[in-house]
Amino acid sequence: MNPETHKRSIDDYRPIVGENVIDQLKRLAKKLNGVRVLHVNSTSKGGGVAEILKWMIPMLRDLEINAEWHVIKGDRSFFNVTKNFHNALQGQECNISQEDKETYIAHNEKNAAEIDFDADHVFIHDPQPASLIEHRVNGTWIWRCHIDISQPCQEIWDFLKEYVNRYDASIFSMPEFAQSLPIPQYLVPPSIDPLSEKNRELTEEEIAKELEELEITHEKPILLQVSRFDRFKDPIGVIKAYKLVKKREDCTLVLAGGEATDDPEGPAVLEEVRKYAAEDPDIHILSLPPVSDRKINALQRTADIIIQKSIKEGFGLTVTEGMWKGKPVIGGEVGGIKMQIQNGTNGYLVNSIEGTAYRIRQLLHNPEMAAKMGAYAREYVRHNFLLTRHIRDHLAIMIATQHPHETYIQV
């Protein structure tokens, strides 16, 4: 697949992350010149994994690494099954039949016939394509898990583990997500591209145009949650918190989301959210088309407070995006959100609807404190969650798996 046309070069990031960071990346990449890297996932649009691969593939190519991205295909039955797997792995009740497992295996068999696996490093993202390991020809195979599998439903984890155990290594976003496995486990938090359409600086005119198109005005403070319509993102909880705040403060709530092609539950959740919001004219529920990056950017830059009230979360790129825009983010104290928000310093972590409402009110009453938190948040992202750090980790893992017996590799 051809990643989106992407004209940026790694050197464009020098002013953002500094000279040393880029020089080190180039030295690392030199050790891998000419290797072929293949990334495989299950959707080209929507959701965090596609978001990362969209910049990672062109950036690796810019570093003279021969990188490819393949998206597996599936019909509704496959994505219903994999969504059930996903929910069960994130701790929901298991409801998976033998037939589901067969659907999963059969779809991946079919997909395998269309993929050229002849690569030095193959990264398989998440459970959907995990059984492709059956088709390994050569190279090192790495299973990259983006979700929280710290308390999985055992039956489905036992099924998936049979495949995962056969990889050369695994990557998790956080230590808590790692599992007892016989293969090496690396920890690599995700990241964002500060120069992408989703994250680049926008002019005031650009922001105004996007908001006008969305029919959003900034007359009152704006609370924003950007997320797929997924119960783990708790959009109903966000509305409940907004309603508590609204008793005393006038504000607007924007819930912006769209569909990911590998998430069949989206339309039903959107319907629930619409019903729950009922007739409140200050709640804007936006179902955005898949490529709405500039709109999301404009919304995040306009919002006074960004919320990500997830009750389960892999990492939460929307948190990173909000923090990078210098906004105070109120996030559920789960998964990777805990790694990003330092409670009370660069945002707030919350565990309840009441807690969320309390923090919203606190930030609305203290704009100076909110601005300070936002500034800390941006610097935290600069040092930890930009794509340059992420590429460095990937290059280092490829080098390490290529030289498994060396304990010291000079760059």
Binding site for ligand UDP (CB under 6 A): 47-48, 51, 198, 226-228, 256-258, 288, 292, 296, 314-318, 321
Q: How far is the CB of 56 from ligand UDP (least distance, A)?
A: 13
Q: How far is the CB of 198 from ligand UDP (least distance, A)?
A: 6
The distance in angstroms from the start CA to the end CA of the chain is 32
Q: Which of 258/328 has CB closer to ligand UDP?
A: 258
Q: Which is nearer to ligand UDP, 224 or 256 (CB)?
A: 256
Minimum CB separation from ligand UDP for residue 12, in Å? 20
CB of 11 to ligand UDP, least distance (A): 24
Distance CA 122, CA 407 (A): 23
What the block records as the tokens of 385 is 């969650």
Report d(CA 34, CA 9) in Å as an integer.
18
Of the pair 41, 346, the CB lying nearest ligand UDP is at 41
Backbone angles phi, psi at 222, to 5 degrees: -105, 125
Query: CA of 188: how far to CAs of 121, 145, 390, in Å?
Result: 16, 10, 7
When the beta carbons of 42 and 108 are compared against ligand UDP, the nearer one is 42
CA separation for the pair 97, 153 (Å, rounded) = 13
Residue 258 or residue 332: which is nearer to ligand UDP going by CB? 258
Listed in sequence order, the residues at least 6 apart from 160 whose beta carbon sits closer than 8 Å to its beta carbon are 85, 89, 127, 130
Select 37 or 255, whichever has its Cβ closest to ligand UDP: 255
Q: Which is nearer to ligand UDP, 90 or 108 (CB)?
A: 90
Sign of the dihedral through C-alpha 377, 381, 382, 383: positive
Q: Do residues 191 and 390 touch, judged by C-beta distance below 8 A? A: yes
Q: Kindly tell me which of 139 and 152 has the beta carbon lying closer to ligand UDP.
A: 152
Which tokens sit at 239? Answer: 């509305």
- Which of the 8 DSSP states describes residue 127? S
- Of residues 43 and 111, the one with the C-beta less far from ligand UDP: 43
Please tell me the distance from the alpha carbon of residue 361 to that of residue 67, in angstroms, as a whole number.
47
Give least dist CB 27 to ligand UDP, A: 30
CB 259, min distance to ligand UDP, A = 8
State the number of CA atoms in the 13 A half-sphere of 95 facing the CB. Answer: 7
Q: State the nearest-atom distance from the C-beta of 52 to ligand UDP, in Å.
A: 9
Report the alpha-carbon distance of residue 306 to residue 4 in Å, rounded: 28
Q: Please state the separation of Cα 322 from the chain's center in Å.
A: 13
Q: Do 192 and 381 contact (CB within 8 A), yes or no?
A: yes
Q: How many residues does the chain have?
A: 411
Minimum distance between the CB of residue 20 and ligand UDP, rounded to whole angstroms? 28
What backbone torsions phi and psi does residue 306 show, to the nearest 5 degrees? -110, 135
Q: How many whole angstroms separate alpha carbon 70 and alpha carbon 323?
A: 30
Q: CB of 314: closest distance to ligand UDP in angstroms? A: 6
